[in-house]
Amino acid sequence: MHANRRSKMIGFLYLTPALLFVLAFTLYPFIQMLWVSLNSWTLITPPRYVGLDNFNRAFADKQFWVSLGFTLKYTLIITPILMIGGYLIALLVSDNSPLRRFTRTVVFIPVVIGLGVSSLLWYWLFSADFGFVNRILLDLGVIERPVIWLGVDADRSNLAIIASIVWKVIGFGMILFVGAIQAIPTEITEATMVDGAGYWQRVFRVILPLTRRTVLLVTLISVIGSLLAFDQFYIMTAGQPQNLTATSVFYVYLNSFPYLKLGYGAALSLILATIILAFTVVQLILTRRSET
């Protein structure tokens, strides 16, 4: 009894540093954000309580909707490319031959590179005069004169950035899909081979259903990652033209830091966090349901 209470105490002591850290640097900032979002505050003037004004202002703010709409558009385009592309590559390389192992390793390399740095790399590759995308397309005869990819036309900028991000993160889904495909018991695969089912029949009837959980999980991670996109847009377009390519996080950043509208920035952050949370909850419910 005494030993048990002592061991509870000791166990709690081991937890204390991490607990204090999370209370100080995650929970406290979160609560402070709730408070700041109800105030008008520019750092120069003291905070002034304004109730829900910041939220009303956000819903009436055209740029807020432009940013949110652009972020959703980006997410809606890139997610299917990442999921279908990643899954096809995983099917291609899930066996353990040397060439496939090598391909897995190579496709995953861009995942470990920083998003900021890969965006700088693609900022150069997509530059109109100095970049290789135009050079290669000109050499292949696909285009006749250099295309200005970034910062002039919102859709063309989006396309270029999506291409760079597909390159950067497609290996992430691939690795998780390969793990899930390899975890399918060999008896099941062999049984369907004996049935004489064709390859694609096997994929749709056996492999895809058995890896559904991983597919949902990777979708969730991709969607959240895309909704929180910042680095690639900050670096490759800086929100241009006319802030049409400023994502939601970008707009939060602009308000909180360069403009120092802290209360408004906090309100925008909170709206964004709520949207993300809603996606997480929906996906988790779907995942739970797919298990039963």
Binders of another protein among residues 223 to 242 (CB under 8 A) are 224, 228, 230-231, 234-235, 238
Query: What would the two tokens of residue 260 be?
Result: 């120092």
**Span from 76-84, 150-158, 188-196, 263-271 in contact with another protein (CB under 8 A):** 263-271
What residues numbered 53-92 form the site for another protein, per CB under 8 A?
89, 92
Nearest distance, CB of residue 121 and another protein, angstroms: 5
Distance (Å, rounded) from C-alpha 40 to C-alpha 49?
6
Is there a cis peptide before residue 241, judged by omega within 30 degrees of 0?
Answer: yes
Using CB under 8 A as the binding rule, whether residue 257 contacts another protein is answered as yes
Residue 189 one-letter amino acid:
T
> Is position 191 an interface residue for another protein (rule: CB under 8 A)?
no
- Interaxial angle between packed helices 115-125 and 154-182, expressed in degrees from 0 to 180 and rounded to the nearest 10: 130
Instruction: Report the C-alpha gap between 39 and 25 in whole angstroms.
Output: 21
The residue behind tokens 């202002």 is 57
Residue among 154, 206, 252, 254 that touches another protein (CB under 8 A) = 252
Angle 172-177-182 from CA coordinates, rounded to 5°: 135
Choosing from 148, 197, 276, 286, the residue that interacts with another protein (CB under 8 A) is 276
Site for another protein in 101-140 (CB under 8 A): 102-103, 105-110, 112-117, 120-125, 127, 129-132, 134-135, 138
Q: Shortest gap between Cβ of 68 and another protein (angstroms)?
A: 14
Instruction: Compute the least distance from the CB of residue 247 to another protein, in Å.
Output: 10
Nearest to 71 by CA among 261, 232, 227, 285: 227
Residue among 34 and 191 whose Cβ is closer to another protein: 34
User: Which residues in the 165-184 window bind another protein by CB under 8 A?
Assistant: 167, 171-172, 175-176, 179
Per-residue binding letters, 26-45, with another protein (x by CB under 8 A): xxxxx-xx--x---------
Residue from 127, 219, 216, 217 nearest 164 by CA: 127
Query: Cβ of residue 175: shortest distance to another protein, in angstroms?
Result: 6
Q: How many CB atoms lie within 10 A of CB 73?
A: 13
